[in-house]
Amino acid sequence: MKKHMLKVSRVTKRFGGLTALENVSFRVAENELLGVIGPNGSGKTTLINLINGIHKPDNGDIIFRDMPIHRLSSYKIAQKGIGRTFQVTRVFRRMSVMENMMVPALSISKSGTQEALLPKALEILALLKIVHLKDEYGRSLSGGQHKLLELGRVLMLDPDLILLDEPFAGVHPELKADLHDHIRKLHDRGKTFILISHDMHSIFSLSQRLMVLSSGEKIAHGTPEEIRKNEEVIEAYLGN
Amino acid sequence: MKNLNRLILMGLLSAAALLPFAMDGYWLHIIIIAYYYALLASSWCLLAGYAGQFSFAHAALAAVGAYTSALLVLNTGISPVYSIIIGSFAAAGVGLVIGFLCLRLQGPYLALFTIAYSEIFRIVLNAEYRYTGGNFGLNVPPLFARESRILYYYTILGILILSLVVMHKIVTSRLGLFFRAVREDEDAAATLGVNVVKYKILAFVITSFFAGLAGGFYAHYVRILTPNIIQLPQMGLIIAMVVIGGIESLAGAVAGAFILQLAAEYLRDYEELRWVFFGLLLVITLRFSQNGLIYPIYKRLTKKNEKTHAESE
Amino acid sequence: MTEYLILQALNGLIIGLIYALMALGLTLIFSVLKIVNFAHGELYMLGAYFSYYLAKMFGFPPVLAVLSSIIIVFFLGVVIEVLFLRPVYTGAVERKDEYAILITFGLSIFLQNLALFVFGPWTRRSPSFVSGTTSFCSLSISNDRLVVSALAIVFMVATLIIIGRTFIGKGLRAVSQDREAAAIAGINPFKMNLLAFGAGSALAAAGGALIGPIFLIFPTMGAMPVIKSFVIIVLGGMGSIKGCIIASLILGEAESLGSVLFPDLTRGLAYKNAIGLLFLVVVLLLKPTGLFGEKHVRMK
Amino acid sequence: MKKCFSLLVCCLMALGLTLPVNAKGIIKIGGVGPLSAPGSFESGKEMKMAMEQAIDEINGAGGVLGKKVALVFEDTQGLPEKGTAAMERLVEKHKAVAVVGEFHSSVAKAEIEVANRLKVPLIIAEAWADVITAKQYKYVFRIAPANSLFYSKIADWIKAAGFKTVVMITENSDYGIGVERVIREQLKTAGIKITSITAERTIQDFTPQLLRFKMSKPRPDLLFGIFTGAGELLMVKQAHEIGLAPTKETAMFAVGTDALHKEFWEITGQSGKYILTKTGYYPGIKFTEKTEPFIKRFKKKFNREPTFAAMEAYEAVCLVADAIKRAGSTDPDAMVTALEKTRFTGLRGVIRFSLDREPKYMYHQWPGTPSFVIQYTQVDQPYTDALLLWPKEYSHGSLIKP
């Protein structure tokens, strides 16, 4: 049995009168690739926001490698090795690509200088095939390049757990294939992923395991094959 | 390019060092005041342009430094050299409190909060005239016993250069990078491991220190202190300097301060019309050239230069 | 003592109504454009000057002068919106919030000094609407104050009706809640911006023009009232019209009663202008949404 | 590269161009005063007019030491720091041999420091704070009264008029606080009950405080408003509107000089009737043979009654010319010596400067400045027609209660 990296137990989050997540529990093993699906408003993004500390849960706890993290600030969680991307990309628009890369790199290395971290940044940019853009400003990049830069930034954090929020939304098919490739490669290198996507084809082909949310509740989990057959899931997606 | 920058810098520095030999007392006074504004403008540029905190309390923080230093000298008799330093730390302390209180406030909310703080401070200074001298003004002892404008000139020049070196170091270091990341997107910066709270407060503390330093020097140079240095039009002047100079460049802010201060002096005969013109310039710069006026001109000049260089080679 | 407090409260009520007029314009602008208009005080000042000159130089009767001045400033507001604020919504500027703050602040510097240059620094006073005073028991109030409070109520009710009951009001409310959704529903958000900024400016001008006979007219006359309006919109909740009116009355009362109940009586007046500012600071720290504000709005 | 250097050179040259060129054969006299807000620009403008008139007359009579004199006037906006800068500009840039003027005490207080530092004679025309002469600077003279000198006479009137309860509303500026202090000191010993309130200069609504006075029992006999500018006018207006003063029970004294300008009536209208105020000049009394011609010329030229501020400004310029003549040069120390020996027939008496060092404010002060209490009896009345109440020897009648 693989060791569990992340344990989310009975987590509840409300915004005013609205319950975004209700009593959700699940676990993620080391080097697993967990997909999360669910209709709009089912609480997927809230879940990621809770794990990386942008929101605090009203109830329940989140444990990352035996350490409770649900009361920690985002930046501490990031430094502990959880990185994320955003559904609507949030690159630093008035900073160059290289500066974007340096922010996470410098935040985790107390003593590192920009020069020392440069090779690593170039390597990652090369991997993502955007090294030629390194001196461009964030705002002058295309939407797809923003997705790549965000991924590159996360990699500079060198996280063990990566949370991807709709990485394929609005992405050119060619780039989508590239992104698949990058995720697989990183997974092979030992990274753990939680992946949210509406892109059923992508998520079913990438994920080892899937969890389904609906109206803030977990309604199913299992291997892609199991989920495909699950009545409740079909109900949630197609019902009314 | 780098060489060119260095050359310009050296040129400007030597010009600044030689200035007192080429100029009579009155113009030296104007330049000293320009240096004071340059320090205020560049530190506000660091706070607003780099760290993204559009505070209207900068003039008030200069006043914290100025009044602390002046009252300390008047009441305890310590040397102005120490009191200016204590005043700067006092300003940094107030900056710490403002930064902490404003953590959750952004955009117009931050602007309103800092305006309110400045106004309250001004009203208190006025109302407690028994201690502060109020509108009557506080007579402040001079920084130097000897009557010498040149001495003041080199002092403020030294302070300005030192402060600019420190601020430049900050801007180019990880601190500056984090300031800009926080400015761009607080949540995204936090998810990349940046301690947003710490850097936001730090931005206020550091820039308030420089504002306090400027204020302290000003008090002991001009020797008269009234609550007018907090008035909103003063803050407007600082903002105009930074915006016209270029809000994301320390050098631009310094240049903006110089240009506006000298222009105000040259155009003295036009009285109110100067401020009409500066207000218009501020609005037009914002509307059409958000990097200010200085930087684009400089860029164009150096670009042309590079071209001619390349052609000649 | 009770009679005294009642009189003070009545005075506070009148002052509060006057404040409300100006703050209402600021609120309207904020609710639709999500901008705090730092040049609002100058629009107020221009409203006062236009009405003064129309009455003095062209012999307009006072009420007509006020109305004409309101119309002039409405169009001035429209011009300002098109020239300087439009870029915020077309995506032409990078830092929207900050751009809006700085550009309106710059406009305020420009307009204030322009007024100083054109109108001169002299203090002026508009002709009275109705001269003389009216007495109730032991309180006599100048007729001007009574007329102005009545007109302020008329303007406020008119604004509320327009926003609450008419088609234009529906459009304004829709844009204030969600620009994109409103646009999809066929409402042109740019038109609504224009309308809101024009109407907000017009309300400021109404405030200034009405104040003319009570307080005096000079180029910097907008500086203090605009700060009071900031207090009011924060206290009432940014963008909430009901909140704005209630907050204006609270501020009027707080100043009137606060400055006479201040512990050190000799300095009550010296700290009068600080009372509102203190409200602002405390509200922003404890409940940034104010008394009636909806959620914390920040421009996207 | 070359461009940058040439740019730099241009900048330096531009700075160099500003080095002052002192025109030959002209003696420059500096003038300071407020010409724009937040200063009391109405008074400043009037003072500047009067100075120009003095300069014209001196030049008309052949100038001084065979040279023409010229006035360089700097606006100080009522802000001390602007005063400092103005002094420096006048002396260092324009090479003024002496400076005259100023209206605001706070600004004058800053200016005397510069005068003392740069060793240039400064004659304060219309700033009253004791401290200005109490510093006993060698280069500073004053023909305006000192607060203590003037307001102790006003306080004498308050005592003589038999007021028992006095309330004061004071702007928390140099001016207000200085006056308040003198009056309070003087009245304390006379058993008069005093209530004093300070306020920000920018206050527009005095109604709450005025209501408080109105409801207090007994109602005050005298409301003493120590305000300038818009504040003074609004206070007069609001006190009248709520029926506090001027009434049978309560008289109102508006101390600020704004009460003497004709603009006073445009704003206060009916409320200004029966208001008391003070002046340093009253035309019914013949001072010297120069008085009437001056007023005639001033009125003809500027179409308004001069106030005593204008007279003082005029006299100050004449005093400088007189001192230069007697000193035979524009050397500052020689001028100071000459000024100390001044016996000059001005518009309101023979001006001399006291050399007494006690009381402190007497040093280099003209002790003979007159002071009058007057009361308006008609709307739109010029102050020169108002009823003269004090000093007793000139009085035309007694306080009118409506």
Count of Cβ atoms closer than 10 Å to residue A119 Cβ: 9
Sign of the four-CA dihedral B3, B9, B12, B14: negative
Per-residue pLDDT, A15: 87
* Residues C248-273 pLDDT 10s: 999 999 988 887 777 777 777 888 88
Per-residue pLDDT, C81: 95
Residue B137 and residue D113: Cβ atoms within 8 Å? Answer: no
Mean pLDDT confidence for C104-131: 88
Q: Does A139 touch chain C (CB under 8 A)?
A: yes
- Residue C140, judged by CB atoms within 10 A of its CB (0-12, 13-18, 19+), counts as middle
Minimal CA–CA distance to D117: which of B66, B152, B77?
B152
| Cis preceding-peptide flag for D218 (omega within 30 of 0) | yes
- Residue C27, judged by CB atoms within 10 A of its CB (0-12, 13-18, 19+), counts as buried
Q: What structural domains and CATH numbers belong to chain D?
A: 24-145+288-362 (3.40.50.2300), 148-279+371-394 (3.40.50.2300)
Task: Give CA–CA dist B129/B138, Å, rounded.
Answer: 9
Distance to chain B for A85, nearest Cα, Å:
9
Q: How far does Cα C167 stand from its chain's mean position? A: 24
Query: Is pLDDT at B160 greater than 90 in this prediction?
Result: yes
Closest residue of B to D84, CA-based? B222
The CATH number that applies at residue B62 is 1.10.3470
Minimal CA–CA distance to C290: which of C238, C237, C241?
C237
* Residues D298-340 pLDDT 10s: 988 888 888 888 999 999 999 999 999 999 999 999 999 999 9
* B97-B102-B107 Cα angle (round to 5): 145
Query: Is pLDDT at D20 greater than 50 in this prediction?
Result: no
Q: What is the DSSP secondary-structure string of B243-272?
A: HHH-TT-HHHHHHHHHHHHHHHHHTGGGTH
Query: Is pLDDT at B2 greater than 80 in this prediction?
Result: no
Count of Cβ atoms closer than 10 Å to residue C3 Cβ: 11
Task: Give CA–CA dist C82/C193, Å, rounded.
Answer: 9
Instruction: Kindly report the backbone phi and psi dihedral angles of residue D94, in degrees, each rounded to the nearest multiple of 5, phi listed first.
Output: -95, -5
Residue A99 and residue B188: Cβ atoms within 8 Å? Answer: no
Distance to chain C for A54, nearest Cα, Å:
17
* Residues D79-111 pLDDT 10s: 888 898 899 999 988 999 999 999 988 899 999
Per-residue pLDDT, D261: 83
Mean pLDDT confidence for B204-216: 97
- Residue D123, judged by CB atoms within 10 A of its CB (0-12, 13-18, 19+), counts as buried
Per-residue pLDDT, C90: 86
Task: Give CA–CA dist A152/C148, Å, rounded.
Answer: 63
SS3 A91: coil
CATH code assigned to C2-131+141-297:
1.10.3470
Percent of chain C past pLDDT 90, that is, above it, reads 43
Q: Are D70 and D26 in contact (CB under 8 A)?
A: yes
Lowest mean pLDDT among B17-21, B93-97, B117-121, D31-35: B17-21
Query: Is pLDDT at D190 greater than 90 in this prediction?
Result: no
Task: Strands of D34-75 (E only): list them.
Answer: 68-75
Query: Is pLDDT at B183 greater than 80 in this prediction?
Result: yes
Query: How large is the greatest C-alpha to C-alpha distance in chain A, in angstroms?
Result: 57
Q: Which residues of A54-70 are buried (b: 16+ CB within 10 A; e: fewer)?
A: bbebeebebbbeeeebb
Q: What's the ipTM?
A: 0.87
Place of tokens 């801007």: B171
Per-residue pLDDT, A237: 72
Q: Are A111 and A102 in contact (CB under 8 A)?
A: no
Per-residue pLDDT, B303: 66
Count of Cβ atoms closer than 10 Å to residue C291 Cβ: 17
Per-residue pLDDT, D230: 83
Count of Cβ atoms closer than 10 Å to residue B249 Cβ: 22
What residues contact residue B78 under an 8 Å CB cut-off, 6+ apart?
A: B72
Query: Is pLDDT at C51 greater than 60 in this prediction?
Result: yes
Residue C101 and residue B54: Cβ atoms within 8 Å? Answer: yes
Q: Do chains B and A touch (3 or more CB pairs under 8 A)?
A: yes
Q: At what angle do helices D332-340 and D308-327 cross, to 10 degrees?
A: 110
* D22-D331-D348 Cα angle (round to 5): 100
Q: Are B295 and B249 in contact (CB under 8 A)?
A: yes
List chains adjacent to chain A, taking adjacency as at least 3 C-beta pairs closer than 8 Å: B, C
Query: Is pLDDT at D22 greater than 60 in this prediction?
Result: no
- H helices of D102-165, where? 105-118, 131-134, 147-160
Residue C105 and residue B107: Cβ atoms within 8 Å? Answer: no
* Residues B102-124 pLDDT 10s: 988 888 899 999 999 999 999 99
Closest residue of D to C2, CA-based? D215
* Residues C26-45 pLDDT 10s: 999 999 999 999 999 999 99
Residue C121 and residue D36: Cβ atoms within 8 Å? Answer: yes
Per-residue pLDDT, C299: 42
Q: Do chains D and A touch (3 or more CB pairs under 8 A)?
A: no
Lowest mean pLDDT among A22-26, D35-39, D209-213: D35-39
* D318-D292-D341 Cα angle (round to 5): 30
pLDDT confidence of D141, banded at 50, 70, 90? very high
Query: Is pLDDT at B308 greater than 70 in this prediction?
Result: no
Domain containing B9 equals: 2-312
Per-residue pLDDT, C118: 92
> Which residues of chain D does C7 touch, with a Cβ-Cβ cutoff of 8 Å?
211, 215
> Which residues of chain A does B248 touch, with a Cβ-Cβ cutoff of 8 Å?
94
pLDDT confidence of B1, banded at 50, 70, 90? low
Following CA atoms B165, B167, B170, B172 in sequence, which dihedral angle do they give, to the nearest 10 degrees? -70
Per-residue pLDDT, A240: 44
**How does the average pLDDT of chain B come out, rounded?**
90
Query: How large is the greatest C-alpha to C-alpha distance in chain C, in angstroms?
Result: 60
| Cis preceding-peptide flag for D391 (omega within 30 of 0) | yes
Q: How many CA atoms lie within 13 A of D350 on its CB side?
A: 4
> Which residues of chain A does C94 touch, with a Cβ-Cβ cutoff of 8 Å?
93-94, 139
Specify the pairing of strand D372-375 against strand D387-390.
Answer: antiparallel
Q: Does B275 touch chain D (CB under 8 A)?
A: no
Task: Give CA–CA dist A101/A118, Å, rounded.
Answer: 9
SS3 C164: helix
Place of tokens 């609550």: B227
Count of Cβ atoms closer than 10 Å to residue B215 Cβ: 32
Residue B243 and residue C102: Cβ atoms within 8 Å? Answer: yes
* Residues D337-385 pLDDT 10s: 999 999 999 888 899 999 999 889 999 999 888 888 999 999 999 888 8
Q: Does C277 touch chain D (CB under 8 A)?
A: no
Task: Give CA–CA dist D208/D212, Å, rounded.
Answer: 6
Q: Identify the contact set of chain B against chain A, taking CB-CB distances under 8 A.
A: 174, 177-178, 180-181, 184-185, 187-197, 248
* Residues D231-290 pLDDT 10s: 899 999 999 988 898 999 999 999 988 888 888 888 888 899 999 999 888 877 767 888
pLDDT confidence of C138, banded at 50, 70, 90? low
Residue B192 and residue A103: Cβ atoms within 8 Å? Answer: yes
Q: What is the DSSP secondary-structure string of A155-193?
A: HHT--SEEEEESTTTT--HHHHHHHHHHHHHHHHTT-EE
> Which residues of chain C does D234 touch, with a Cβ-Cβ cutoff of 8 Å?
215-216
Q: Are A28 and A81 in contact (CB under 8 A)?
A: no
> Which residues of chain C does B54 touch, with a Cβ-Cβ cutoff of 8 Å?
97-98, 101-102
> Which residues of chain C does A94 touch, with a Cβ-Cβ cutoff of 8 Å?
94
Per-residue pLDDT, A18: 86
Query: Is pLDDT at B197 greater than 50 in this prediction?
Result: yes
Count of Cβ atoms closer than 10 Å to residue C1 Cβ: 6
Specify the pairing of strand A59-64 against strand D68-75.
Answer: unpaired
Give me the total of CB pairs closer than 8 Å, taking one residue from chain B and one from chain C: 123
Per-residue pLDDT, C300: 40
> Which residues of chain B does A78 touch, with a Cβ-Cβ cutoff of 8 Å?
190-193
Q: Does D217 touch chain C (CB under 8 A)?
A: no
Distance to chain C for A139, nearest Cα, Å:
9
Residues of chain A with pLDDT under 50: 1, 240
